[in-house]
Chain A
């Protein structure tokens, strides 16, 4: 079972004169470098055709990134709304801009299934500098503040390890600095998330683009006309994100960092406790009502400690006809919530 010396290809090598061995080694090295250069060239050629979302490992929808780039070039926005997909369908930036009469308008930058850490990373390192808002609306639910959720942890990991995430993160030691340098230098490294998926490469080569329901101001328009529908796959997804459940820790710290970063830039912060269909959603938590109560108490004391306005939307009644599913508002629900947020900004 063991390997003999002959198995190592030794005999041919040993029989060779030293200069010839060195020449052969140099040829091998040249061939390796040649292949890597060709691959890098291909990546550089394909990079402009790839979705900008690839740089964020697709944790952020590509349309947002294009919109933010466009708005940034046009001078930014006055109100930036951040949060999960619940916020995407729950706050209408056009209505918000009309209600608050802001000149540069509003933008709704939401992600699917983020944690507070993901929101902090994307907002304070990317969106706030790019859009220079005067008001930051951070809308959360218990899911984003769950400190022990697996999917939340995965989400922030995906963002942090994306090429864009690596470029933005600073002060993490020599390895992180080296990774950032490589990311900046190599198109292959920057685009590998996209290039490793044959179907995406095919899409690029065939000029196909994925369908998007994100409006020019970021709102998710897909649920506007929907009526309440509870889908088993979605239920499973939400339950997984809320079990186990513990509020506080790194997620709450990230929220505090976000508020501090915004206030340091002179940005007014409004916190929103997102409405959910309570009788359906609250039991998804590991300990049901007990977890939900704890989350609401922590959020209220956090807002007080940070001296920020908290829109406790859940204190109002939210009927079934305002929801597209148990934690996403439809167009009618969005109009109501946007009104509440606008009132808070005016105050």
Chain B
């Protein structure tokens, strides 16, 4: 899958991120395991490549909403920074609605350099995973 999303500010809008099939499968599996709640996590990048998928805890109460656990996020972020890696992509699931960013997804897209991946699992046989770059213009 290609997601139109640069992972660094020096990149052009035309840059594309190639998501390895194994990572795609892990995101879909995470989405299914967490349903009906939304799953969330991130993908670490290094030198333009996606190197590690890191599932994280959805700390938001209820369904149809996510917030990556703040303390967990900070620990992971600090660790990645120490290793010279970056947050290349942030993923979450929409168990029943469209694989497009919601108003909240756009409003709260505070990491414009990252690719936002949204996984739809409404059709169990045909999960849909799409990537978006969400920037404040």
A, B assembled together: no
